[in-house]
């Protein structure tokens, strides 16, 4: 909180009877030992009066509004409006949105440059900013909790331990916090460590720049990389009993960045319905395991395609069926499957060609990346096999467009593609701290617009939930993720549209007539069922 004119503010507080002259003297004495602390924050620390009265008075003196900021005050998710880095740099926390206006709490309302920066960022999102002021220590506490990891032990290691211990602590902390990836990033004046937890990146520590070369050397040593090479490399860390850690290095302007992908060995396969698959078991059976056909899961990178494939394969796995998988890499080992890992000397297309000589019933192709692989997968489907594969695309209709762009004929696509599935991963509300409330008028209007568009009905008379934050979820309000799905079963009518060379828009129109429901419908269903929030869904699908 900026209070450069300390004496006038102190005098004004005394005049209002908020504090005494003796309180101001104690505060100024405290400030001599803590010159970076501002007068209002010191009075708060010294607990000389009721904090709410103090901050409201300071707000009036500075021509703004003072408020006590805490988890009850904050009614929105900060990172939906400002990045955590921007919030920390400007000590600003958006805490409530209503009718196009966003309330933002600052530690400093005298510095107009900071406020204008945040105001412009929010204006670009279509929101008008209303400024408030609060104690800097409360803002720091909230921002630290939003980092999503307990950094105390890691910070101690950063300061005191050896490089070996530091790298080990970074990895072990990531494992403890359920991180899927660890980013170790050279910056201009420091080395930043971030963890990706439930799809979101959180800063865990900032390490002295002087340790950068030693950290890089240690990472290269334990991941079996060339020490001398200053170029992109791939490696693997096998020092942790339950984890196979894939390592990627990439030089940037400040050094070499490392990303560690944490893959748990022998992790159990989750049931496809536990992942959030919306269909009944009977409908699932109709969508998969069709001989002479191919099922493709299409989604962007990092949206759980491979996990869903594993779940489907596990569902189909029986001793009387020969299942072979071709993967890059094999992430989970499944008993009873023949799993092939792609290396630098092989490719999906070559491996798939060889697998066809091994009398398979079901073939899993980790990813269709090119025309050759697509053609062989289609041929396998046309010759009595059932093929499961993934492809990078935005939804299940666009799987058809993607295959066309790879050079496959409309005949091959329509005759062999049986089911196209698309999905996204959204964060699940933490069951320990989610807060029940009624749907707002704005939320009902958004959902009702969607229901009319796709001819579905949802009961909005029940409750929805807000993300709050607690120790269980690292104060994020979310714990784990769940999939939202859409399933396109290619009926004869849809196949005819493809055969006639119709556009994706025309195919979509026919699919909707045949009962196809897009991702947004299952997403709304997950909100109604209390799994996630409209804000979280909007991050994935941009529905408003």
Provide, rounded to the nearest whole percent, the portion of the chain with pLDDT above 90.
Answer: 47
Alpha carbons 376 and 370: distance in angstroms, whole number? 10
SS3 state of residue 533: coil
Q: Is the model's pLDDT at 157 over the cut of 60?
A: no
For range 53-71, the mean pLDDT: 89
Tokens of 486: 């859409």
For range 277-283, the mean pLDDT: 88
Higher pLDDT: 354 or 110? It is 354
Q: Is the model's pLDDT at 255 over the cut of 70?
A: yes
- What's the confidence (pLDDT) of residue 536? 92
Pick from 154-168, 331-345, 382-396 the range whose average pLDDT is largest.
382-396
Q: Is the model's pLDDT at 272 over the cut of 60?
A: yes
Alpha carbons 261 and 328: distance in angstroms, whole number? 13
Q: Provide the mean pLDDT of the chain.
A: 88
Strands 362-365 and 181-186: unpaired
Q: Is the model's pLDDT at 468 over the cut of 90?
A: no
CA 536 and chain centroid, separation: 9
Where residue 435 falls (left for φ over 0; alpha for ψ -120 to 50; beta otherwise) is: beta
Higher pLDDT: 477 or 520? It is 520
Minimum mean pLDDT range among 35-49, 246-260, 389-403, 492-506: 35-49
Number of residues assigned to the chain: 544
Q: Confidence band (pLDDT; 50, 70, 90) for 251?
A: very high
CA distance to 138, 166, 188, per residue, from 27 (Å)? 18, 39, 37
Taking the alpha carbons at both ends of the chain, their separation in whole angstroms is 35
Where residue 182 falls (left for φ over 0; alpha for ψ -120 to 50; beta otherwise) is: beta
Q: Is the model's pLDDT at 148 over the cut of 60?
A: no
- What's the confidence (pLDDT) of residue 5? 41
- What's the confidence (pLDDT) of residue 3? 41
For range 294-300, the mean pLDDT: 95
Alpha carbons 397 and 384: distance in angstroms, whole number? 25
- What's the confidence (pLDDT) of residue 4? 41
For range 180-195, the mean pLDDT: 94
What domains can you pick out in the chain, each with its CATH number?
6-145 (3.30.300.160), 147-264 (3.30.450.90), 281-541 (3.40.50.300)
For range 309-337, the mean pLDDT: 87
- What's the confidence (pLDDT) of residue 159? 55
Q: Is the model's pLDDT at 146 over the cut of 80?
A: no
């Amino acid at each position: 909180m900026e209070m450069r004119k300390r004496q006038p503010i102190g005098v004004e507080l005394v005049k209002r009877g908020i504090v005494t002259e003796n309180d101001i003297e104690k505060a100024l004495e405290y400030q001599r030992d803590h010159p970076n602390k501002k007068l209002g924050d010191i009075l708060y620390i010294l607990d000389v009066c009721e904090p709410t009265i103090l901050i409201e008075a300071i707000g009036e003196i500075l021509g703004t509004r003072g408020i006590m900021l805490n988890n009850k005050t904050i009614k929105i998710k900060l990172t939906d409006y400002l990045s955590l880095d921007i919030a920390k740099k400007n000590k600003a926390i958006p805490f409530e949105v209503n009718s196009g206006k966003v309330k933002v709490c600052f530690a400093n309302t005298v510095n107009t440059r900071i406020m204008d920066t945040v105001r412009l960022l929010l204006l670009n999102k279509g929101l008008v900013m209303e400024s408030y002021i609060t104690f800097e220590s409360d803002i720091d506490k909230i921002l630290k909790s939003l980092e999503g990891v307990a950094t105390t032990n890691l910070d101690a290691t950063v300061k005191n331990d050896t490089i070996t211990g530091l790298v080990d602590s970074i990895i072990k902390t990531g494992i403890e916090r359920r991180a899927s990836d660890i980013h170790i990033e050279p910056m201009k004046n420091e080395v930043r460590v971030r963890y990706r937890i439930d799809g979101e990146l959180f800063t865990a520590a900032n390490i002295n720049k002087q340790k950068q070369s030693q950290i890089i050397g240690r990472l290269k040593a334990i991941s079996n990389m060339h020490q001398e090479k200053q170029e992109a490399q791939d490696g693997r860390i096998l020092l942790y009993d339950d984890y196979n850690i894939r390592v990627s290095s990439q030089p940037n302007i400040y050094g070499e960045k490392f990303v560690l992908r944490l893959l748990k060995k022998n992790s159990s396969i989750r049931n496809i319905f536990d992942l959030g698959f919306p269909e009944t078991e009977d409908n699932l059976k109709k969508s998969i395991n069709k001989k002479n056909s191919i099922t493709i899961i299409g989604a962007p990178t990092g949206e759980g395609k491979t996990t869903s494939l594993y779940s489907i394969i596990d569902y189909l796995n029986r001793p009387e069926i020969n299942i072979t998988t071709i993967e890059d890499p094999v992430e989970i080992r499944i008993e009873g499957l023949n799993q092939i890992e792609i290396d630098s000397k092989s490719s999906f297309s070559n491996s798939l060609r060889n697998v066809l000589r091994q009398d398979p019933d079901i073939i899993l192709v980790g990813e269709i990346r090119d025309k050759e692989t697509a053609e062989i997968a289609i041929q396998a489907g046309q010759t009595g096999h059932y093929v499961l594969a993934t492809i990078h695309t935005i939804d299940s209709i666009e799987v058809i467009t993607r295959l066309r762009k790879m050079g496959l004929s409309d005949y091959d696509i329509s005759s062999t593609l049986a089911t196209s599935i698309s999905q996204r991963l959204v964060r699940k509300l933490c069951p320990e701290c989610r807060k029940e409330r009624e749907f707002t008028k704005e939320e009902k209007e958004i959902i009702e617009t969607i229901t009319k568009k796709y001819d579905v009905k949802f009961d909005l008379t029940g409750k929805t939930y807000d993300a709050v934050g607690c120790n269980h979820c690292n104060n994020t309000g979310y714990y784990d993720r769940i999939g939202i799905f859409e399933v396109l079963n290619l009926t004869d009518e849809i196949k005819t549209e493809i055969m006639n060379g119709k556009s994706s828009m025309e195919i979509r129109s026919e699919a909707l007539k045949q009962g196809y429901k897009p991702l947004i419908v299952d997403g709304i269903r997950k909100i109604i069922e209390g799994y996630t929030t409209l804000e979280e869904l909007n991050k994935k699908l941009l529905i408003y």
